[in-house]
Amino acid sequence: MYNGGKERDIDVKNAKIKQGIQYTYIHIFMYLSACLIIAYIASASAKPIPQDGPAKTHIYLCTDESFKGQCENVEAEPGKCYNVPDGYKSKISSGGPDQGTFCSMFAKDDCKGNAFPFTFPGVMNLARYGFGDKATSYRCDFLSGFDGAH
């Protein structure tokens, strides 16, 4: 029985709907697959780089102004307190940490007493700030988001 093409129109519309649904499922599947692949790659690249030991920095200590006299570049583990090396106790007149590092010198052993904080490139004359020949200990830490003086 012919009903003016309506039956055929309905079939065509249903076919288009089914085809559209299948087309949508394929896009959803492809999108989710891409998201999973990207997430996997991102997680693999976000792993920390293994290190042989704790991170280290340095502080350059000198017995005279302007980084002269007897000088030593000593290694420091960030956040750890150190007493100054033998021969430097209460004799440091200038000093400076590595770039990206913040250090404090202390007037007493074990990072106690008055403190003098400073960053890279350091201080050429600690006496100018009332801290010449007073340091007996120090502690350094890395600065986050700081790339030193320009």
Give me the tens of pLDDT residue by residue for the chain, a chain 150 residues long.
555 555 444 455 555 555 555 557 676 777 777 766 777 666 655 555 555 667 899 999 999 999 999 999 999 999 999 999 989 999 999 999 999 999 999 999 999 999 999 999 999 999 999 999 999 999 999 987 545 554
**Prediction pTM value:** 0.61
Residue at 70 is within a domain: yes
Domain co-membership, 72 together with 32 = no
DSSP string covering the chain: ---TTHHHHHHHHHHHHHHHHHHHHHHHHHHHHHHHHHHHHHHHHTSPPP-SSS--EEEEEEEEGGGEEEEEEEEE-TT-EEEPPTTTTTT--EEEEPTTEEEEEEEEGGGEEEEEEEETT-BS-GGGGT-TTT--EEEEEEPTT-----
**Domain count along the chain:** 2
Domain membership flag for residue 87: yes
Q: Report d(CA 123, CA 45) in Å as an integer.
A: 40
Residues 61, 126 within the same domain: yes
Asked if 130 and 61 sit in the same domain, the reply is: yes
Domain that holds residue 107: 57-142
